[in-house]
């Protein structure tokens, strides 16, 4: 695995805060950010900060993990439908695969994704966990 520090810093807003865009023409919310709105083909922007709340749209368990994620297997990956509309793929955390259900409310959390290089650069990013009940 190659250490890509520049790419890591470029993606910080997406990985830590779920920052996407809102199309100024059709007002659809876009994640990840793009140059062109996938819905109306007009220029995308400005930045939009997603709430981090959503629900499980679909999910699966990963038993044969790709390089760099072997120690995390088995783990659950889900399509999460954000409250604001977009579907994103994310690892679920703090839940057993057998307990995951379609429609389950989830919330974004920042967690360790992987380590890279001999120096042990730790990459953090978003995962989703079952939404905690309001206090």
User: In the prediction, which pLDDT does 92 show?
Assistant: 96
pLDDT of residue 11: 55
Q: What is the pLDDT of residue 5?
A: 56
- Does the residue 135 lie in any domain? no
Q: Is residue 123 part of a domain?
A: yes
**Comparing 114 with 15, which gets the higher pLDDT?**
114
Domain region containing 17: 5-130
Residue range 8-47, pLDDT digits in tens: 555 555 556 788 999 999 999 999 888 999 999 999 889 9
Give the residue, 70 or 82, on which the prediction is more confident.
82
Spatial separation of the C-alpha atoms in residues 46 and 21, rounded to whole Å: 5
Going by pLDDT thresholds of 50, 70 and 90, the confidence category of residue 1 is very low
Number of domains composing the chain: 1
């Amino acid at each position: 695995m190659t250490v890509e520090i520049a790419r890591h810093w470029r993606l910080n807003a997406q990985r830590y805060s779920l920052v996407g865009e809102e199309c100024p023409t059709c007002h659809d919310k876009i994640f990840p950010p793009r140059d062109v709105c996938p819905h109306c083909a007009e220029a995308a922007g400005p930045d939009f900060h997603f709430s981090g709340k959503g629900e499980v749209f679909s999910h699966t368990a990963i038993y044969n993990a790709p390089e760099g994620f072997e120690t995390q297997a088995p783990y659950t990956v889900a399509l999460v439908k954000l409250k604001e509309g977009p579907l994103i793929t994310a690892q679920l955390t703090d839940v057993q695969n057998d307990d995951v259900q379609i429609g389950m409310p989830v919330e974004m959390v920042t967690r360790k994704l992987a380590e890279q290089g001999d120096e042990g650069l730790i990459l953090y990013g978003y995962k989703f966990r079952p939404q905690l009940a309001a206090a």
